[in-house]
Amino acid sequence: MAGVTDAPFRQLCLKHGAGLASSEMVTSDTRLWSSSKTRTRLIQTPNSHAPSSVQIAGSNPQMLAEAAKLAVHHGAQIIDINMGCPAKKVCKKLAGSALLQNEQLVSDILAAVVSSVKVPVTLKTRTGWDTDNRNGKRIARIAEDNGIQALAIHGRTRACRFNGNAEYDTIAEIVDSVAIPVIANGDIDSPQKAQQVLVHTGATAVMIGRPALGNPWVFEHTEHYLNTGKLCANVKIQQVQKTLAWHLKELTVFYGETKGVRIARKHARWYTQHLAGSQLFLQHFNTLNTIQSQLEAVNDFFERPATHEENAA
């Protein structure tokens, strides 16, 4: 979720019930940490009920260990290692899910990072390299043997990327093979689906990614359903308007107006994509270059009677 789960977005998700929100993935090459992009990714969410988790990626054990130590120096209370990203630009550097092809290197990386810091280290990974090589269970045991405190498993292989449907049988096998907590991930887009996946896999928790885009309420709705068996009412249109306006302002504060208004465009699309008239609204919104004009456009859009014909999920 690099480019999306910045500090304002994480703050919003935590406010609406997420138990943990990791930073965007940062490179293990600390020589690049002076760039503005990496500096903003390392900024933690203040006054949060959840510990600060920083996700690192790379393929060199010592570089990852140094990155972990520096992240802790910047305030990280959890180090999360990414071995799940399927992006070509990550995998061609033998990082992310590309590491699943080399189990010895996985072990070397995990041992180096765990021994370098005193905070918990977690691992985000996938079920395997491809459907003929689902080695997620072996990776999980390697992780546990090297002191990893929790696993998040996406129910697809590297080769699957985000295509097709996530499968949860492998996650269930991983849960049965290790004693550490396992967090199930992939296609969990509703409270009912979260419960189904928890029952099917026996996982400790679920991780929600893309379904939270424009819908931070998915976390509190899921928690409520898991605790009570009852669904929450749809989010009122006024709440969508209020939250979108808050998010736009926070992006401007965090990035500055020039960059903030550009980043706001994709978030506006996610918040409004299911609402009547959103296409025309977004065509206009994407031409705006000031936060004030964006806020005015949002108010105009949400105050039109036609917008109220559909509510958020």
Residue 305 neighbours by CB under 8 Å, 6+ apart? none
Place of tokens 């180096």: 112
Q: Which positions are annotated as active-site residues? A: 85
Structure tokens that stand for 189 in this block:
């887009």
Q: Going along 38-160, which residue ranges are E strands?
A: 53-57, 78-83, 121-126, 150-154
Residue 104 neighbours by CB under 8 Å, 6+ apart? none
Contact 280, 272 (CB under 8 A): no
- Residue 223: name the closest of 244, 239, 206, 203 by CA: 206
Q: Cα–Cα distance between 272 and 188 in angstroms, integer?
A: 21
- Residue 311: name the closest of 266, 259, 274 by CA: 274
Structure tokens that stand for 118 in this block:
């005193």
